[in-house]
Structure 1
C-alpha cells in the first residue's frame, strides 16, 4: 500500500506594529490569500517541486500587511475567525488528524486589547488542529519569541539577513524543518527539543544590519550551529524596538534531538550576541535632518541618499508625517527649478492626488497633504507646484503623483507606500541616479537603493519609529534592557531554557 502524504495546513497573519504610531491597521491591509492562492503564491510548494510533492498542502488563510499602527481588534477577530473556520473545514474534509501546520507570521503584530498576539492566535488554532499536529513557524528576525509562543510552536526559524534577502529561503526552511520533524516522529522518534534564551537587548534594525559588524559575525555563526549533528535549526531574533510590550527583546532558539548539543549551540549564540552588545552602531553616519541636507549639498557624491527614518512605513511609521518635507521645502537652495534636484518619497494625500489627477500633467496647482493621521510632529503641508507625472495601479499607493516644487520632486500618494526599488521612481518619470539628493522614508537602505547611493546618511527624524528610542517613552519592556540601561548589576542569565511542546503542560513561570 502506498504510504499517504502528510497533510499540512498553512495559516498566519503577518504585520509589524508600532505602539507609538497613531494610525490603525485594518483587515483589508493584510491582503488575505486563501486556499489554493497560498500554494500558488509560494513557488517552493508548487507541484513537481521537492517540497510540493512531499506533503498534501492545505491553504487556510494568510495575510501580510504593510507595517503600521496597531491592528484594530475587530479586524484581527474577523481574520482570526476565518482562519479557524477554514482550518476546521480542512480538518473535517481530511477525516483524519492534521499532521502539521506551517505558521506563516512576522512576530511583531500588536492588536488592540491583546498582547503576544501570535501565541494567542496559535492557541486558538491549537484548539482546532489539536496538540499533536506539528507546528513550524517562520518569522522575521525583527519579530518576538515569547516563552508562550515557543511553547505553542514545535519549530521556529527566522530570517538571517537584514535587509531581508532570504525571505523565501526562510519560509522554505520552515516547511522543510516541519517535514523532517514529521519524518522522525512518524518513524518513532521524538519531537525536536527547543532551547530558548532571552537576551536583554532591544535595538532598532538600523543598528543591527547583517551587512555590518557586529551583526554580521553574530548571524554568520547561526548556520555553523545548525550544521552540527542532531541540530535541526538555529535562529536569532533581534526583536522589535518600536512596541512597548514585555516580550520585546532579542531571543535565541535552537532546536534538535541532542540536548547537550542544542543547549551548547543556543548558549554560544546568546553569548556571542551579548558579548557584542556595546559594539552596535548605526549603519550609516547620522545627524539631524538639517545636518544631513548640509552634508549632501557639500559633497560631490551623487546621488546622495538621506533616510527620513522616523516615519519609515516599513518599520511601523504611519507614512504621513510631514516634518521632513516641511524642513526640506523651507530651504532656500531648493526654491527655484534650477536648484539642486531633489526627490522626496513620499507624502500620502488622497485629496491632493485627486486635484492633481483632475488638473493633469503640466498643470500648476496648490494642494495640501499629509498629517491626516500622524500630526504629532507637524501639520498638513501646503505646496504649489507643477504636476510632473501621474501613475495608476500601484498595489499600495493606488495612485501616485509627482509634484515639482522648485527643484524638489515630491511624490504624493493616495495611500501610503514604501519606495524600495529603482522602478518605483522610473515609472514616475524620475531618474534617481541623475538626482542630486534622494530622500526616502526608510531606515537602512534596501539593496537597490544601497547600490544606487554614492553616499548616504540616516536622518534622526521624529515619528512613530524614531531611532532615538529614549524619546518614545517605553515603560513596559523588561528591565534592565540595553541600551535603555547601560549598567547591569549582574551578567544576564544566558542558560538554555528547554521549552516543553504543546503536548505537555504549559511552561509555567514567566510565559513572556
Structure 2
C-alpha cells in the first residue's frame, strides 16, 4: 500500500489597489491556523474519494477584504510563518497555495511571485505546487514558473470559490499519484479591464468561460483557466492570462493558444454590465424611475470607491451628490447610502440614545479626494454590531439613512441592511459602494446603474495614472497587434 501523500495548505488572500491610499495591515485580516484552517475545506471531512490517504498539513491562511497595498511588515510576518512551518513540516509531496493573485505589498511589484519563490526555497524543486486563485488575479512569469498547476474561478460574481479550491486540490492529488509533473502553457493577453466589464453573466465573458469545459474534456488536458487580470494595480504583471495544464504537451499548448486567441478577439465586445453615467446622471435617472413601483428599489453602484475591489471605502463624493437632491433632503424619497468607514465618527455617536439628534463629520480620513470629510446633521436611527463592519450606525438625514461602519465592509448581503433596520424593498433608492451587484442585491433590485465615481478603483481606467503596466495595453492603447506567444513549462 502506498504511503499517504503529505500536502501543505496556506496562503495570503487579498486584492490590493495601488491607486488607493489605504494601507492594509494585520488588523484587516482574518487569520486561521491548525485545525481551524483545515476546517475551511469541506472535502477533508468527510474525505472525498480522491482525497483518501492524504495527510493535509495546515500552515497559516490570512484573508482580508480587498484594500490598499499591504504593509510590508504584515506581509513579511505571514510569509515568514509559512516558510518556517514548511521547513518544520518534514518531507512534503506538494502544497495547495490558496491566495487571490492580486495582492500588492508596499515596495514589491509581484507579491505572489515573491511568496511562491520563498515557498520554493523552503520545500525545494521536487514537491508540486497547485494554486487556487481569483480570476481577477495576475499570472506573472515568476508565478507560472514556480507552480505546477494553476486554476482560477470561472464565474463573476464569484459563486464557484470553493469549487475552485477543491479543483486545485484534486488536480494536485491526481498529478502526484500519476507521479508525473504536468505540462503547462501560458499566454499573456494584453488586456486590462475592470471586473464590471467582464461579468460572466454577460457576453463576451460568458461565452469565453463557457469554452473551458469543452477544452478540459479533451484528451491530455487537466485544467484550463482564464484570468481577466487586475486593473487597479500599476504593475508589469497586470494583464489577462490563459494557463492550460495537461498530460500531453501538444494538446496543452494548442488549447492555451486557442483560448488566448479567443480572449484577444473578443476585446472590443467587452462592455459594462449595466448602463453607466456620472453620479448626477445616475441620480437623475433613478429619481425619475422610482415613480414606477416595479423599478424600486433602484440601486446605484458607487463603483470608484468599491471596497470589494480595494477602494478606501470613505470617499464622500457620492453621498455629497445624493444629499444635494431636494427630494432626498426633504424626505419625499426614501434612500439608503451604504456606506462609509469611520470608526471615529461611530465612536462619537454610537452610545447616544436612538432618536437623538447628532452632528458628526464622516469620511475622507483615508481617501480625502473632494469633497473630503462631510458634516452630517440628522438623527441617530440605529446601532448594530456587524460581523464584517464591526459597530455600525445609521444616521437619518431627511429621507436618507447613512450607514457608517467601524471597519471597511461591502454591503452586499441583505442581512447587513436589516441589522440597521432597513428592508431594501421598502425604500426607493440604495446607493452602495460596490461594482457589479452581488447576487442578493442583483435579485432585490428593481433596476440599477453603475456610477462612474472617483476613487482608488475608478472604472474609467483612462483617469488612472498608470506608469508601470506593460504597454501597449488594451484599452489604454488600441492600434496594435498583440504578441500572443505561448510559454511552456
Partner of 1:503: none
Q: What residue in structure 2 maps to residue 366 of structure 1? A: 359
SS for the counterpart of 1:451 is helix
- Distance in 2 (CA, whole Å) between partners of 1:292 and 1:308 is 10
The 1:342–1:54 alpha-carbon spacing in structure 2 relative to 1, beyond 3 Å, is farther
Report the equivalent of 1:6: 5
1:26 corresponds in structure 2 to 25
Alignment gaps of 5+ in structure 2:
none
The equivalences for 1:341-420 within 5 A come to 341-392=334-385, 394-420=386-412
Tell me by how many angstroms 1:341 deviates.
Answer: 0.6
**Paired position in structure 2 for 1:116:** 110
Larger mean CA deviation between 135-144 and 374-383 belongs to 374-383
CA distance in 1, matches of 2:74, 2:47: 36
Aligned equivalent of 2:315? 321
Check the 8 A contact 1:32/1:64 in 2, yes or no: yes
In 2, the alpha carbon distance for the partners of 1:80 and 1:360 equals 46
Please report how far the alpha carbon of residue 397 of structure 1 lies from its aligned counterpart in structure 2 after TM superposition.
1.3
Aligned position for 1:40: 39
Q: Report the alpha carbon displacement of residue 351 of structure 1 after superposing the two structures with TM.
A: 2.4
Q: Could you tell me the TM-score, scaled by structure 2's length?
A: 0.97
TM-aligned CA deviation for residue 422 of structure 1: 1.0
Match status 1:445 vs 2:437? yes
Change (3 A) 1:224 1:425: same
CA deviations over 1:129-171 (Å, ceiling 9, x no partner): 1111110000000000011100001100000000000000000
Query: 1:106: Cα distance to partner?
Result: 0.4
1:103–1:137 CA contact under 8 A, matched in 2? yes
Separation in 2 of the partners of 1:55 and 1:171?
A: 16
Residue of structure 1 in register with 2:166 after alignment: 172
Unaligned runs of 5+ in 1: 92-96, 500-512
Report the Cα offset of residue 39 of structure 1. 0.7
- TM-score, normalisation: structure 1: 0.93
Native 8 Å contact 1:45 1:52 kept in 2: yes
Cα distance between partner residues in 2 of 1:357 and 1:248 = 42
Shift of 1:237: 0.2
**Where does residue 197 of structure 2 map in the other structure?**
207
Corresponding position of 1:132: 126
RMSD: 1.1
Query: Counterpart of 2:112 in 1: which secondary structure?
Result: helix
Structure 2 match to 1:340? 333
**Structure 2 CA distance for aligned equivalents of residues 334 and 280 of structure 1:** 35
Partners in 2 of 1:153 and 1:347 — Cα distance?
39
* DSSP 3-state at the match of 2:89: helix
Q: Distance in 1 between matches of 2:36 and 2:160?
A: 22
By how many angstroms is 1:495 displaced?
3.5
The answer to whether the Cα contact below 8 Å between 1:27 and 1:78 also exists between their aligned partners in 2 is no
1:260 matched residue in structure 2 = 250
1:52 CA drift (Å)? 4.8
Supply the distance in 2 between the matched residues of 1:267 and 1:441 (Cα, whole angstroms): 37
Is the CA contact 2:23–2:69 (under 8 Å) kept in the aligned structure 1?
yes
Q: CA deviation at 1:355?
A: 2.7
Residues 462 and 255 of structure 1: is their aligned pair in 2 closer, same or farther, counting only changes over 3 Å? same
Deviations 1:235-284 (A, max 9, x none): 00000000000000000000001112111111111111111101110000
In 1, the alpha carbon distance for the partners of 2:341 and 2:485 equals 47
